[in-house]
Structures are given as structure tokens and as C-alpha cells.
A and B are shown apart, each in its own frame.
Chain A
Amino acid sequence: MILSSPFTASGAHHYEMPLSLRSFTSLNRALLSSSSPSSLLLRGSSLVPTMAASSTTTVSSTDAAPQLNQSTPSPPPVQVAKRLEKFKTTIFTQMSSLAIKHNAINLGQGFPNFDGPDFVKDAAIEAIKAGKNQYARGYGVPDLNSAIASRFQKDTGLIVDPEKEVTVTSGCTEAIAATILGLVNPGDEVVLFAPFYDSYEAVLSMAGANIKCITLRPPDFAVPLEQLKSVVSANTKAIMINTPHNPTGKMFTREELEFIAQLCKENDVLVFTDEVYDKLSFEMDHISMASLPGMFYRTVTLNSLGKTFSLTGWKIGWAVAPPHLTWGVRQAHSFLTFATSTPMQFAAATALQTSDSYYEELKRDYLAKKAILVEGLEAVGFVVYPSSGTYFVVVDHTPFGFENDVAFCEHLIEEVGVVAIPTSVFYLNPEEGKNLVRFTFCKDEATLRGAVERMKHKLRKR
């Protein structure tokens, strides 16, 4: 069994996960006893077991040594599935562990350090008290399906049937998984735009899809239309779009969406569109692909509660799609999680019925935060690319003289005390992202100012 070494000079090779448990265990021990845990984590990351599925962990990564069962001398020769070869250990967890270790200000992971609105939390509390603690209907509590349909109509002008065209899932992450597993066959071609949210590639490989990747490049991350056209054919099953876009903050323009729509209609291609940041659109209006002429029939629109209402841990997401596509999504969903958290669904229905003033205030707050971060990053010396939406900003770190994004981020945590995410993990070919890192501004203003101050004082151009 040949393992691709995590320590190859290029470091840019697509990470491989070993198949045999036996060799995994012995290599794992070797890695964990190495003297440089931080670079281990950021390089051969797929070979180190993740300690936490996501977010905050009270355990630092160096506590991670798994204990072999003492009573057996060697593990049984059983194998994990080959689909895991494409899975990289999540960078977010590693960054968070390092951040805790160095007491760094975390502008890496995309969740707020402030909480959601009281009226939504109160609704969840009422639901729990009122006994709404048992299985909800698999595809969603009726009140929530209706609220989603109403909101969708307000946002897009489209009238959808909450019973047949809305499916509630455990977060948008699950909506993405259910959409791909429910609608994509092994061997199907699916177009992805890099950089992309890391679950897209992983789930597409679980489905056995053949990924065709188009890279969006700075400074404006515009869609290279001719290149896209050359890649889409009658063999294409679907195109995945994320707008507003994580990590770049790009928002797909009407022209881009119309171009894509035209290709889809000509070649009978589906669109899966992840719009979780739709309410965080600042520089232009958010446009849903489903609202373009002829596109509802072939589009699955994905969204969630978490980003809009600062309740990322509630895991309430949804897919809106015509009945024939909804059917596939619901099938996969019913076997992935079966049903979604009941009390939170009731609260989500309340949340989605709130007036537009909530969204206006949300935008104002985030714009103020964005200004603090962007001005700060520019003053420090980064090349800051314009971000039209989301609560992310990508910057070019090369003025500071590091060879790649991972090295820069390590330095930023260890010497400056600030966390950013190296964007190379969001590309099929990590080389393409090595000049960029992502900062988030979904933090309170004091935190943002604190981070900017640290960078101003300690980050030096080389």
C-alpha cells in the first residue's frame, strides 16, 4: 500500500487517505509523535483523526492520540470505504484548536460570537415547553414549510407548494448532501466553481460524480464564461452555484446567471444553488437562479436559518425545488437524518415570518462590521478583494512574504494571535488558492477591532 507522503516538497498534491487501517494506525502514531504538531495538522491533515466535528473544542489537537485497544495486538484487517480518499480533514477544526492554544482571535470560522435574536430563541423555548419534542414530519413541520414558501415568494416572486416543493433538513449542509445523493448518479458530470465550500466536493465524491471544476480568479472572481461553455455539454448533470459566494463574497450577476441558465436549458442541466448568505447581500441585489425564466423547473434552491439569524447550531435548512426533484431530495434526506429538530422548526417558522426591518438591521450591523475589518486589513497591508456579500472577505497575503496560505495562517496565529482560513482547501488544486486567505466579520465590533490592532502591531511586511 503506497501512501502519498504528507511531507512531499510540493505539498500541493491532492491529499490521499490510506485504505488499510493497519498502515493508517502505524503511520498515525508516527505523525503524532512528530515534533511539529501544527505543521502536521496543516499539511498531512487527512491522516490525523479529527477531534471534533466542528467548532469549539475544549481539547487541543495534541491530546488527540487514539488509544489502541490494549487487549489485541493488532487491529483487524477491515477497511474504510474508498470514498473517503477524497475527504480532507476539515481545516476549520484544526484552525480552531490552534487558535485556542495560542489564545488567538478567531476570524476563521464562519459563525458569530454573538447570539441570535431573543424572539426566535423564545419561540424555541415555547415549543419545548409546549411539548413539541417528538419526531416532526420527515420533510418538515407544516408551519415551517409554509413560512419558507412565503419567504421564497417574497424573495423571488415564485409561488411554491410548501407540501410538494419544500423540504426541511438538518442545516443547509444536509440539504446539499440530500440534493447531491438524491439526484446525482455515479459517473454523472457536475460543474463546480472553485473556490468552493468544502462539503460540495466531498459529497459529490460520495455520490461518485465526475467533477468538472472552473476556477474563479481575483480580483473580481468573475465567471469565465467561455471556459464554462466549453465544459458544459449534454453529459453534464448539474452545475453547483453558491451565491453570495463563500469564501470570496462574490455575487453572481444577472448576466452570469443568464449565461448559465442558457447553457442549462440547451443541455438539459440541473442547477443546485446554495444561497445561505442571501440576506447578507451588500453591494448588489441577490438573484436566485430559480427566478430566471424557465429555470424553476430545473433548480434546487438551498438555504438555512443559521446565518441569517445567528443560530448556526440549530441546524435548520431547506431545499426548494419542483416536485420531481424534491422527490429525490426527500428520499435521500429520509435516510440521512429522517427528521429535523422539532422545536427549532417551530422557532424557525416564527423567525421567517419576521418583518423586513429585521433584515435591514442585520445588513446595517454587518456593513459596520465589514467596514472595520476591511479598513483594518487595508491599513495593515493586505490586498483586499471587494466582497459583495456574505460575511467573508478574501485577501492576498503575499505582501507579507510567506510561501503559501497555510504558512501565512500559521504565522498569523502563532505570532500575531489572529486566525484566518487558508483558502487553498477550497480548491481542487490547492496551488490555485495559495495566495489568498479568508477573514470573517461575523464577530462583535470589539473583537474585530482587537484583531485589527494585533495585526497592525505585529504583522510586518517582509
Chain B
Amino acid sequence: MEGKVSRASRKLEASPIQELSQLAQTCGAINLAEGFPDFPAPPHLKAAALSAITADFNQYRHVQGICHLLATQMKDRHGIAVNALSDFVICCGQSEAFAASIFAIVDPGDEVLLFDPAYETYESCILLAGGIPVYVPLSPPHWSFKKDELMKYFTSRTKALVLNSPHNPTGKVFTRDELETISEACKIMECFAITDEVYEYITYDRELHISLASLPGMQERTIITSSLSKTFSVTGWRIGWACAPANIASAIRNIHVKITDSAPAPFQEAALTALQSPPDYYCSLRTEYEARRDYVVQILSVLGFQVRFKPKGSVFIFAELPDHCELSDIEFVKKLIEKAGVAAVPGCGFFHTTPQPQDGEKYQRRYIRFAFCKSGETLSAARQKMEQCVNEDGQLSF
């Protein structure tokens, strides 16, 4: 009965990453692979959730207050004026917001542009909706793209462009120039943009996250998706949202209602507290993450990784294997788990394009993604373990 599984879901293959994940578990490896924190969620948030459960906020809900708070934030931070009553859809995480957005606008045969490397899930949603993912490669080492090159990827079938900034896995934060290029293209080709801004509050070196929708002519064609998860270290609560012009939000809402109907009620209530966190909270968040970033950049560099692009945002660093290393990314990560007891993610799962001649053939097998949304103890322990496996040059070698 293999044939019983839908064609769309059959295209989605189990990844080598899942096997490595199992290996990491078996070996009890320190987890620098997955992008969720191992430090606790903020106490004020947990308290709010506990109150909500006790106060019986446990039936299907839509907490309108969340929309008002988000609308205020968008106005204050990005100058985007949205209607709190009509422009938001509260979903089970940014995951569902993204899925619902894709289903709301992508018809079978529609093309959707994605920058490569890309978080794996986007493609799967697009395929499930019958769409065709089209990848625009970002060139190493700085993950840039050329203005005139971008237009070549658009066709009359292009329905939308997906923009993840700050970017997983590279940590890139798209600059205003780049956003202008993207917005011009979207306007000329009259297509949507769907943004994934989950790392919007996690930027470094005074880099500011710019929301694509804040650029001229973009609000009416942009669906913004984001969530509480990364900003508030509550990845398991499943509170996210989509924000779009009312008619599009309505379509997304119609889909959402059929997929899950409601995000978890008590956590919607707690979201009100989260979204009223004082400016201090966001400052500490950034400062603490920046310290972690700096620490990990340093230790990886010392261990021989080539860190030619320091992340400007997100909780990831996309490090290139040491020059001398002849292993592929998957082989390296396997050794890293088995010998050093540290888990990271091989970069190949994020790449979907054929390498361009100017970028060299092999780069897509040369990157490893480390997550640093981990406590100081964890990062320190990981360093010590990796230091056990260095050669006489002090470089990580298996």
C-alpha cells in the first residue's frame, strides 16, 4: 500500500539529517544542532501561562489583544500601519502561519522564489500546495546576490518570493539595498512576498532588522510571518502569526481555521504579557546572544573552521570546514558526533541549487551549521569536548 501515500508527501524525503539526529541521541552528544534553547523561558512569561491555565483560559480562543500589540510594534519599529482587526491571523507557530500563507496564495504550477541556502520546510509547504520552488543562489562567502541576476529567476508564473531575514542557516541580515532590489523585482513582476522574521529581535553589531513590508509599495503585497518562539525562548508553545492586507489575511485565516482552527489558548493569553515586555528585555536578549555568537565564532576559528562570514543575526553560525579537511560535511558531522560528542547540522540539506562556476563546485558540502542558542555551560562543554580532538596544529581533525 505504498501507493496510498499522497504524491505530494512522497516527494518529501526523510533527510540524512534525521539519521544524524538519531546518532547524536545515541551518543549523548551535546546538541548544537537544533535551533531551540536549553536555557529556561523567561519567568514572567511562564507565570503568565500558569495564570491563564488556572484562570480557565482553556477553550478555543482568538485573543484579539495580541493583534493590537503586534500592530503597535509594527508601527513603532517599522513604520508599517496595519489594521489590528483585520490584518492578523494567530497560528500554531510561524510554521503554521507560513503553511497557511502558502496554501492561501499558491496554486498548482505557481512558482515561488527562495534564496539558497534555505530552511528545509519552505520547499515542502510549496510542494504540498502544488507549487514549484525556484532557488536563487546566494554566493559564498558573504551570501550575496547580484541585482541583475535576481530578475532572471522571475517568470510569468512567479507567484511569490520567500524572504527569511535574519537568515537561517547563514545568519545573514538582508541590507536595505538588497531589500530594495527585492522589492523592485516584486513590484515589477506583481508578485507576493512572504517573509519569515522569527529572528527579528536577534541581530548583532547594531545591525537592525528591516521588515520588507516597510519599503515603498511592499505592504500591499507582503505577508509577514513571525512568532514568539525565538524572541521569548518558548519554541514549544506554538504561538505565531501572519500579517497581511485584510483580503489576504482573510484567505490565510480561512486556511488556518481548517488546519488547526486555534492556537493554544493559555499561551495566547501569555503572549499578551510577552508582547508587553519592556525594552530592557529585548536589549538583554540581543546582548546575551551577541556574547554567545562571539564566543562560538572565536572557538570555531581557533579550532580551524573558516568563519569568513560572521552572523549578523539569528542563532546560527554557518562555518566552513577547515581548509585541509577532506571530509564532506555529513562525514565531518558524523565524526564530530562520534569522536567529539558534539552535534551540528551538515549544510548540504540547506542547498538546493547546482553550484555556479564562479562559486566553485564543492562549497555546498563544506558548511556546518552550529546553533548557539544554548547556555554558557553547554557552549563551554562543547568547546572542551572539541578540544580533545585537535591535531598538533590545534585544529579539529578526525
Contact = CB atoms under 8 A, between A and B. Distances in A.
Contact of A173 (B83, B238, B251, B260): B260
A267 interface: no
A53 interface: yes
Given A55-B62, A87-B254, A131-B40, A313 B262 contact: yes
A55 B247 CA distance: 21
Contact of B59 (A63, A111, A206): A111
Given A69-B245, A81-B104, A186-B130, A121 B54 contact: yes
Nearest to B252: A80
B9 interface: yes
A82 B266 CA distance: 34
Interface in B157-189: 159, 187
A69 B237 contact: no
B59 A312 contact: yes
Interface residues of A, number: 99
B307 to A, nearest CB: 27
Interface stretch (A246-254, A320-328, A393-401, A405-413): A320-328
Interface in B34-51: 34, 36-38, 40-41, 46, 49-50
Interface stretch (B86-94, B357-365, B382-390): B86-94
B217 A72 contact: yes
A70 to B, nearest CB: 8
Given A121-B58, A133-B236, A54 B259 contact: no
Interface in A94-149: 109, 111-113, 115-116, 121, 124-125, 128-129, 131-136
Contact of B62 (A54, A70, A83, A343): A54
Contact of B251 (A81, A170, A325): A81
B99 interface: yes
Contacts of B106: 81
Given A124-B53, A312-B59, A63 B85 contact: yes
Contacts of A428: none
Contact of A64 (B10, B85, B93, B121): B85
Interface residues of B, number: 90
A85 B261 CA distance: 19
A253 B254 CA distance: 34
Given A81-B129, A342-B237, A315 B220 contact: no
B348 interface: no
Interface in A328-349: 328, 331-332, 334-344
A185 B8 contact: yes
Contacts of A89: 254
A116 B58 contact: yes
A115 B56 contact: yes
B321 interface: no
B342 interface: no
Given A80-B248, A131-B41, A133-B234, A115 B58 contact: yes
Contacts of B9: 181-183, 327-328, 331-332
Interface string B119-162: 00100110011100000000000000000000000000001000
Contacts of A64: 85-86
Given A55-B60, A135-B235, A298-B1, A315 B247 contact: no
B190 A325 contact: no
Contacts of A124: 53, 266
Give 4 closest A-B pairs by Cβ, nearest first. A313-B265, A66-B246, A342-B236, A49-B250
Given A50-B253, A342-B237, A343-B49, 13 more contacts: A53-B89, A59-B64, A80-B104, A81-B106, A81-B107, A125-B50, A132-B236, A134-B38, A135-B236, A182-B6, A203-B258, A335-B128, A337-B260
